Structure 1
Amino acid sequence: MRTIKQRHRAINAPIADLVTYRALPTASVEYLDPFLFLNHHGPQVYPPRNRGLPFGPHPHRGFETVTFILEGDILHKDTGGHESVITAGGIQWMTAGRGLIHAEVSSEAFKQTGGPLEILQLWVNLPAKDKLVEPRYIGLQRDEIPVLTLPGGVVVHAVSGQWLGTAGAVQPLADVALAWLDLPADSQLTLPVAAPRTVFFYTVRGALRVNGTDTRARELLEFNHDGDELHLEATADAVLLLGHAAPFNEPMVSYGPFVMNTEAEIQQAYRDYQRGDFGVWNG
């Protein structure tokens, strides 16, 4: 079984009136190649006639955003012509590639009625060869994501990659497996993950024991590359965001909304954005 290198506590980083905990990066961990960034928004309850999410139009280049909507909804719109409202239990997978502008806001219905909201957004790097691919967007509702129900009541929502023989809904450019798991108290699960791969392990709710180490809500675990098995035990009802991928082992430079391989490429991204190469926003 893999050993744990370090436990990283998510830090409180509110955005306007949106409750936010940032799990990656923090003072103790910069990134887990190729996983770059995780914001945990909520849980909170919005009142009726609220302003909704604050993420108006902004650009991206060079990576992918994967958004897990646990409660509430998100209206996604971008300069590639994509637009959809994804509700609780769904995901949004956006490949920024060569660049686009997008907004992530609440639907008019949510702003009128309010309700519970909890969202996770993960940034996943793209390898150098795919940094400038054509942007794409995939929005999937809960019933479009394969579900694997295991003995003991563990439920695996397979977003990408292979999970005990079940293929995820999305076929990403890189070999990235992502899922979220619901684990009832006292349930157990053993998963194979090849030792060279980077594990992404974030406890959203509840409490877990993995390979003999206890972890709690809003904690990210960093693993050593010394084993090929994860043994999970839920010590309370838990929700887990779990991923794994082969590290790219490439240079990485990030600045604001762009993630590239060199400083020169970051400067070029800003020039391209400023001259309108990311498209024109029609709000």
Structure 2
Amino acid sequence: MTSRTIAAVHAAIRDDIADLVTRRPVPAADLPQVDPFLFLNHHGPQVYAANNNGLPFGPHPHRGFETVTFILSGTLAHHDTGGHQSVIAAGGVQWMTAGSGLIHAEVSPPDFKQTGGPLEILQLWVNLPSRLKMTPPRYTGVQADGIPALSTPDGAGTVNLVSGSFVGQKGPIRSLTDVFMATVQLYPGARVELPAPCGRAVLFYVVSGRVAVAGREVDQWHLATFNDDSDTVMVEASEDAVLLFGHADPINEPVVAHGPFVMNTREEIGEAIRDYQAGRFNGTGPLLDVGA
């Protein structure tokens, strides 16, 4: 089967946050979104010294979408006003549905701040359709051993399946909107056919290494967009590479974003701000500081 062809390749923009190395492939001036994928930040890779301040993502609100956080190295503590808490280690994933609204924090746990070490994290925002924007918030944290690590048919790669199905297996996350999501490790000589059903939007970001798709090279820190001309993406790697790969149905609705809120109209953004200021995101209890 022939591969989807590449429409464009977009370099991630360097946009550090305090001392946190950050690259952002989307949104960009020429790529506002890959509907329904709204936003992707690539933090690191870097090494934190001992007695560091950790990640700077203290308590902040969200409404109208989902955050998916991939911990590639290091550890990440999550806590929110829905009563969810976890510390996820390297290889794990956090999937939070902000829905109608909550306040959360993603920070470094105390032992990481004390000892330091390597850190690399991806955070992806996935939009929700209007019918689900006010759905009750929920959260799932999965450690690495809960994520199926599936060999590619040629044995030269591994698909870490977060949501959706691959080679007869299902990921641990049940997406509200049937999002397929995985990280993919490829070894030199790998040739893998990844599912990309026609009509679905494809998220394809090269975290590290270099790959070729339909004869076109895509380097690390680049995101490729695709033409809707096949049901697969054929990837070849001549060196070690890591990809973030997903696909989903486009929502095809207006997107109005204001900071941590993503809705369909300006009026809904105003309502989100008023609800947050009135304490309506406070959920079931106080936001406990698990990262102190």
Q: Deviations over 1:196-254 (max 9, x none)?
A: 10000000000000121110100000111122121110121000000000111111111
Secondary structure, aligned partner of 1:201:
strand
Of 262, 271, 274, which residue of structure 1 is paired with 2:274?
A: 271
**Amino acid across the alignment from 1:98:** S
Amino acid at match of 2:265: T
Runs of 4+ in 1 over 6 A off after TM superposition: none
For 2:176, the aligned partner's letter is: L
Distance 1:192 1:102 in 2: 33
1:252-271 → structure 2 map (5 Å cutoff): 252-271=255-274
In structure 1, the partner of 2:120 is 118
CA distance in 1: counterparts of 2:156 and 2:226, whole angstroms? 26
Distance 1:224 1:116 in 2: 36
Q: Which runs of 5+ in 1 are unaligned?
A: none
Aligned equivalents of 2:167, 2:232: Cα separation in 1: 13
In structure 2, what is the Cα distance between the partners aligned to 1:161 and 1:72?
Answer: 26
Residue pair 2:156, 2:188 contacting (<8 A) in 1 also: no
For the 8 Å contact 1:152–1:184, the answer to whether it is kept is no
> In structure 2, how many angstroms separate the alpha carbons of the residues matched to 1:198 and 1:282?
37
Q: What's the TM-score, normalizing by structure 2?
A: 0.95
Alignment of 1:116-195 (within 5 A): 116-150=118-152, 151-195=154-198
Fraction of identical pairs, as percent: 57
Aligned to 2:216: 213
Offset from partner CA, 1:107-151 (integer Å, 9 cap, x none): 101001100000000000011111001101101100011110133
Gaps of 5+ in 2: none
Q: Which letter maps to 2:250?
A: P
Please tell me the residue identity of whatever aligns with 1:248: I
After superposition, what is the alpha-carbon deviation per residue over 1:154-200, rounded to whole angstroms, capped at 9, x for unaligned?
10000001122221110010010000010001111012321110000
Alpha-carbon deviation of 1:282? 4.9
SS, match of residue 152 in structure 1: coil
Aligned to 1:226: 229
Report the number of matched residues: 283
CA drift at 1:94 = 0.3
- Tell me which residue corresponds to 2:79: 77
Conserved in 1, the CA contact under 8 Å of 2:261 and 2:272?
A: yes
Local SS of the residue matching 1:45: strand
The alpha-carbon deviation at position 2 of structure 1 amounts to: 1.3
1:105 partner amino acid: V
Q: Output the TM-score relative to the length of structure 1.
A: 0.98
